[in-house]
């Protein structure tokens, strides 16, 4: 069972993602801020992180950069209400980019794609 | 009564039939077209002939000679320059002192010429033009006459709006010698354009006489095939040399010494020239076969014109095509309607020649090929487009803009509609030209393009690792041949295309099964100007910046005019390096350096490194993937030494994990790795195999035997720019000169050799090698590697060249040499055995 870290500053979103992704068979851990996410990343291991770009006063992209620098083996999917960040080169460090929508299928598909890719690539 | 036969045309529209012979000599029912004209003239008592030649006159003269064999008298006139039709006749003025008839040497007609001559005489005409009615008068000269058949108007190649008659000029004229008064000497003068309008203006007696009968201008290859169809259907009667053989329900004409095998099925009208063989079980319908041809069993020919010395092998199926002299058609080949195979071409077995494809002379079509387009310039049509991850071919000869646009259509079709692909190129104008054609093809399939323009391959790969694009394509010039363009295809992860991905595109390309976007939904082109910044950021994260800054190393880099010259000098400067850049400027006209220039460039680089007392020198290849290292003493490292050095530097500076190297790499890599608690993963020699291994999280470095390195912490792809920075960083970290580290590399002797070997024998050689290795310790990852304790030898067939590689490594040079020679001799011996 793949273990996911969902980072979003909105509690309802965290709840929604947590339930939906758990129903998909994932083990889901949530964090409400970049700091909380870093703490969890230091204490637990994850297979994938889903990060909102706008985290109150923090930037999801900075968190992404930190993960890439310190734990480059964890794939990251950026999840945002804005499509404009697709053109921001800092966002290109991510493995996936999903524009938030009421239909969570795109996010689920992207998680499945990135995990499958990672699994395929890690096979000797 | 004399006649002038116009036989000077180049036959450009008849190519490739006329590549080797002038148009009037193209065979029609196994006889030159012009011979039918001579016979028509003779039939109406015109035996004093003037032949007006221009293009390849000797071919015509050698055939007709003085005409005595044919019962006519021939005078040849060859103007020295193109004088136009009437101007050329003027050159023959001295032979034309009585009424004469003019006719083209490339017509098929059964007109009653006597009626034209009689009409001319009865009307006391100066000039009579023979007219006929055709369904489509657009491509001819329309002629309008009054009730007395006097010509009142000419319309040369009219548009439909101008067509007021279907009566056209057939190119057959009866003229009086006085006509020469109207033709200026030494000037380009045309009958239709100049002479007849002049006569009209001068109100000279100019008549047009309509004639009923068969008339066809054999002006192009379609018309040529149709002329045969008409003869075979009996629409027009022409003389056939081969005598009729009695066979119920079939019009069979067979020449001397023809063999018709048992079970041959013949239908309709079939002509077989002297000394040809049709072997049992062939099916021949409405077909003309020339002399000295061999048609093997099971061949099906329907409405085919075969010239001389053709060899059509078992099971080939040909419909409505022309096969010229000295052509071989491979077993089970299929040729669709409208094909023309010109002289001296060999088509390999099981090939598929699509509809209307024309193949110019002296081509080689590889077995199993599907030929979809006309083959004019290149020498061969390859069975498969892809060579590994790339398509390569001669720029503007094999890879033409139209070919590449079609390739773009095929690639776009293989991708989801509305998806994005990343496209870049090297510095050359050729790459830019072909890339632009390719983009048009992609867009037509409804796929979007992100054009990052002039960029090195590693940067393109780096962007592809992120989201947003489903694939990438890079255009560059080949290092081996500057006239060759390489199109490198990458998947969504920036990895080289696998063979199955290439096959998918080939299938679409050959079937022309393209997806065409709705006119409102073609793809769009955008640019990604931030790609360089993105790459630069990642680059800085991948190296120990502080360490390098602290050492302030001086290095020399030969950038080879590659796109790396735009970005790497600044990166190295920002890292605190003192960089002496050679060949940093871009040169679109000149392109990159070739392989031949490499040794000189390396010598110069070595000299500069020593003179400037630099820490190292780096030669970066134009693809920005391969690096040659020169140490601080000016010593140029061999690729296998560089690989061992990098492994040693990595372990010395604390790297722990696995090293991915090809089977052919020296075993000292294992020695170095294992002594330091690391492991080695042996891979196939293909770049993709090494990179696939590099993606695995525990791999810290992948290195090829050609100076290519990938450092997965930055990117799992060969990157010459990062290799340079990483080498500098590792060198700073050890704190000792590179030459001293090189001395620590365990010594062994490593030798490589090549044995030329044709493709067909490669499998046999490897079978013999595996039999030879039965009682030895052998591995079969890539080729066959046999170990003798710490020494080993590898026999590896090259994937793209007709070559077998032999690699040997041993502790002492003598043993390595002995192993290499022994196995090269074995391969040579097996080659001979396989030939028997």
CB contact under 8 A, A122 and B696: yes
CB contact under 8 A, A89 and B530: yes
Say what angle helices B668-675 and B639-652 make with each other, to 10 degrees: 0
- Sheet bearing B749-756, strands edge to edge: B749-756, B803-810, B791-797, B784-788, B777-779
Interface residues from chain A to B (CB-CB < 8 Å)? 68-69, 72-73, 86-90, 92-97, 117, 121-124
CB contact under 8 A, A87 and B530: yes
Of the candidates A73, A90, A92, the beta carbon closest to that of B697 is on A73
CB contact under 8 A, B693 and A124: yes
**CA torsion A37→A38→A42→A46, rounded to 10°?**
40
CA distance B655 to chain A (A): 16
From CA B429, how far away is CA B434, in angstroms rounded?
A: 9
Taking the mean position of all CA atoms in its chain, how far away is CA A16?
Answer: 14
CB contact under 8 A, B696 and A123: yes
Q: Which of B467, B494, B680, B691 to mutate to test the interface with A (most CBs of A within 10 A)?
A: B467
CB contact under 8 A, A72 and B681: no
Kindly give the parts of chain B with pLDDT less than 70. 157-164, 587-595
Q: Which of A70, A79, A92 to mutate to test the interface with B (most CBs of B within 10 A)?
A: A92
This complex has an ipTM of: 0.75
**Do A26 and A2 meet the contact criterion of CB atoms below 8 Å apart?**
yes
Q: What is the mean pLDDT of chain B?
A: 91
**Chain A / chain B CB contacts < 8 angstroms:** 41
Closest residue of chain B to A77, computed from CA coordinates = B467
Q: Is B527 on the interface with A (CB under 8 A)?
A: no
Which residues are registered as beta bridge partners of B713? none
Do strands B578-582 and B471-477 pair parallel, antiparallel, or not at all (unpaired)? unpaired
Q: Please enumerate in sequence order all residues whose Cβ is within 8 A of that of A88, keeping only pairs 6 or more positions apart, or say none.
A: A61, B530
Do strands B340-341 and B358-359 pair parallel, antiparallel, or not at all (unpaired)? parallel
Which of A49, A24, A41 minimizes the C-alpha distance to A109? Answer: A24
SS3 label, residue B48: strand
Closest residue of chain A to B691, computed from CA coordinates = A121
pLDDT in tens, B241-286: 999 988 888 899 999 999 999 889 999 999 999 999 999 899 999 9
Of the candidates A88, A94, A122, the beta carbon closest to that of B467 is on A94
Closest residue of chain A to B698, computed from CA coordinates = A122
- Sheet bearing B616-620, strands edge to edge: B578-582, B554-558, B616-620, B627-630
CB contact under 8 A, B468 and A90: no
**CA torsion B621→B622→B623→B626, rounded to 10°?**
0
SS3 label, residue B353: strand
CB contact under 8 A, A89 and B534: yes
Of the candidates B463, B541, B681, the beta carbon closest to that of A69 is on B541
Q: In A, which residues are within 8 Å of B498 by CB distance?
A: none
With helix as H, strand as E and coil as C, how does B97-164 read?
CCCEEEEECCEEECCCHHHHHHHHHHCCCCEEEEEEECCCHHHCEEEEECCCCEEEEEEECCCHHHCC
Angle at B755 between CA B752 and CA B760, to 5 degrees: 135
Which residues are registered as beta bridge partners of B451? B423, B527
Q: Is B693 on the interface with A (CB under 8 A)?
A: yes
Do strands B471-477 and B420-425 pair parallel, antiparallel, or not at all (unpaired)? parallel
pLDDT in tens, B127-183: 999 999 887 777 777 888 888 899 988 877 666 666 667 788 999 999 999 999 999
Which of B802, B806, B799 minimizes the C-alpha distance to B826? Answer: B806
Segment holding B340, helix H or strand E? strand B340-341
**Do B242 and B272 meet the contact criterion of CB atoms below 8 Å apart?**
yes
From CA B342, how far away is CA B307, in angstroms rounded?
A: 10
pLDDT per residue, tens digit, chain A (124 aa), is 899 999 999 898 899 899 999 999 999 999 999 999 999 999 999 999 999 998 888 889 999 988 988 876 799 999 888 777 777 888 888 999 998 877 889 999 999 999 998 777 666 5
Neighbouring C-beta atoms of residue B68, cutoff 10 Å = 10
């Amino acid at each position: 069972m793949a273990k996911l870290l969902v980072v979003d500053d909105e509690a309802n979103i965290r709840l929604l993602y947590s339930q939906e992704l758990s129903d998909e068979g994932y083990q889901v851990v949530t964090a409400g801020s970049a700091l909380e996410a870093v703490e969890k990343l230091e204490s637990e291991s994850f297979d994938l992180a889903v990060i909102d770009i706008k985290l109150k006063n923090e930037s999801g992209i900075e968190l992404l950069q930190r993960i890439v620098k310190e734990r480059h083996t964890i794939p990251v999917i950026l999840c945002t209400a804005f499509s404009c960040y697709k053109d921001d080169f800092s966002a290109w460090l991510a493995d996936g980019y999903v524009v938030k929508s009421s239909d969570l299928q795109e996010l689920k598909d992207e998680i499945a794609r990135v995990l499958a890719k990672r699994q395929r690539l890690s096979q000797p | 009564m004399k006649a002038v036969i116009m036989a000077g045309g180049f036959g450009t529209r008849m190519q490739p039939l006329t590549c080797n012979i002038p148009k009037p000599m193209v065979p029609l029912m196994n006889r030159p077209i012009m011979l039918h004209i001579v016979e028509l003239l003779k039939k109406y008592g015109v035996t004093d002939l003037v032949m007006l030649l221009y293009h390849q006159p000797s071919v015509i003269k050698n055939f007709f000679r003085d005409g005595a064999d044919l019962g006519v008298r021939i005078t040849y006139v060859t103007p020295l320059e193109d004088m136009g039709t009437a101007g050329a006749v003027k050159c023959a003025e001295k032979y034309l002192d009585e009424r004469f008839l003019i006719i083209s040497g490339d017509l098929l007609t059964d007109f009653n010429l006597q009626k034209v001559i009689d009409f001319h005489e009865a009307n006391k005409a100066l000039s009579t033009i023979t007219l006929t009615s055709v369904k489509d008068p657009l491509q001819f000269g329309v002629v309008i006459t009054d009730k007395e058949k006097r010509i009142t108007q000419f319309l040369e190649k009219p548009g439909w709006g101008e067509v007021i008659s279907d009566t056209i000029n057939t190119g057959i004229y009866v003229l009086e010698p006085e006509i020469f008064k109207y033709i200026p000497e030494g000037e380009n003068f045309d009958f239709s354009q100049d002479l007849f309008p002049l006569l009209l203006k001068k109100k000279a007696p100019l008549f047009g006489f309509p004639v009923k009968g068969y008339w066809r201008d054999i002006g192009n290859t379609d018309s040529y095939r149709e002329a045969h169809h008409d003869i075979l259907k009996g629409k027009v009667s022409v003389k056939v040399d081969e005598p009729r053989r009695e066979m119920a329900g079939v019009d069979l004409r067979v020449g001397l010494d023809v063999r018709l095998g048992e079970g041959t099925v013949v239908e309709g009208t079939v002509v077989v020239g002297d000394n040809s063989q049709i072997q049992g079980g062939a099916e021949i319908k409405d077909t003309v076969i020339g002399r000295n041809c061999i048609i093997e069993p099971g061949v099906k020919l329907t409405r085919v014109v075969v010239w001389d010395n053709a060899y059509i092998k078992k099971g080939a199926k040909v419909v409505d095509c022309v096969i010229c002299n000295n052509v071989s058609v491979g077993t089970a080949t299929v040729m669709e309607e409208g094909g023309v195979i010109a002289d001296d071409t060999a088509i390999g077995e099981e090939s598929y020649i699509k509809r209307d494809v024309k193949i110019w002379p002296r081509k080689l079509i590889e077995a199993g090929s599907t030929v979809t387009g006309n083959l004019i310039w290149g020498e061969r049509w390859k069975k498969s487009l892809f060579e590994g991850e790339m398509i390569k071919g001669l720029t503007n000869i094999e890879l033409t803009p139209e070919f590449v646009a079609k390739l773009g259509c095929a690639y776009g079709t293989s991708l989801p509609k509305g998806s994005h692909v990343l496209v870049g190129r090297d510095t050359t104008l050729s790459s830019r030209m072909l890339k632009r054609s390719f983009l048009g093809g992609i867009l037509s399939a409804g796929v979007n393009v992100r054009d990052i323009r002039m960029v090195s391959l590693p940067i393109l790969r780096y962007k592809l690792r992120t989201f947003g694009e489903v694939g990438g394509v890079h255009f560059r010039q080949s290092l081996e041949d500057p006239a060759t363009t390489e199109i490198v295809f990458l998947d969504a992860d920036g990895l080289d295309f696998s063979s199955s991905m290439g096959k998918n595109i080939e299938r679409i390309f050959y079937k022309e099964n393209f997806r065409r976007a709705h006119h409102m939904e073609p793809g769009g082109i955008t640019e990604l100007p931030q790609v360089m910044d993105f790459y630069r950021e990642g680059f800085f994260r991948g190296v120990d910046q502080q360490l390098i800054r602290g050492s302030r190393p001086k290095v020399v880099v030969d950038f080879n005019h590659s796109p790396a010259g735009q970005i790497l000098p600044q990166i190295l400067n920002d890292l605190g390096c003192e960089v002496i850049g050679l060949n940093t400027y871009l040169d679109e006209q000149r392109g990159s350096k070739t392989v031949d220039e490499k040794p000189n460039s390396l010598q110069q680089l070595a000299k500069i490194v020593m003179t400037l007392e630099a820490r190292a020198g780096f030669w970066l290849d134009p693809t920005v993937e391969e690096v040659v290292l020169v140490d601080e003493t000016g010593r140029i490292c061999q690729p296998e030494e560089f690989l061992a050095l990098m492994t040693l530097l990595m372990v010395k500076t604390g790297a722990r994990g696995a090293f991915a190297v090809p089977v052919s790499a020296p075993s000292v890599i294992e020695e170095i790795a294992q002594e330091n608690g690391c492991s080695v993963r042996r891979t196939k020699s293909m770049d993709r195999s090494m990179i696939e291994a590099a993606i695995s999280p525990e791999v810290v470095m992948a290195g090829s035997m050609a100076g290519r390195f990938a450092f997965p912490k930055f990117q799992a792809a060969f990157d010459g720019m990062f290799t340079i920075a990483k080498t500098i960083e590792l060198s700073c970290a050890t704190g000792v000169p590179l030459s001293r580290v090189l001395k620590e590399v365990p010594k062994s002797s490593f030798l490589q050799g090549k044995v030329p070997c044709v493709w067909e024998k490669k499998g046999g050689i490897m079978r013999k090698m595996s039999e030879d290795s039965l009682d030895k310790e052998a591995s079969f990852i890539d080729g066959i590697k046999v170990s003798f304790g710490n020494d080993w030898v590898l026999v590896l067939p090259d994937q793209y060249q007709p070559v077998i590689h032999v690699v040997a490594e041993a502790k002492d040079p003598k043993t390595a040499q002995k192993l290499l020679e022994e196995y090269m001799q074995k391969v040579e011996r097996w080659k001979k055995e396989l030939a028997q």
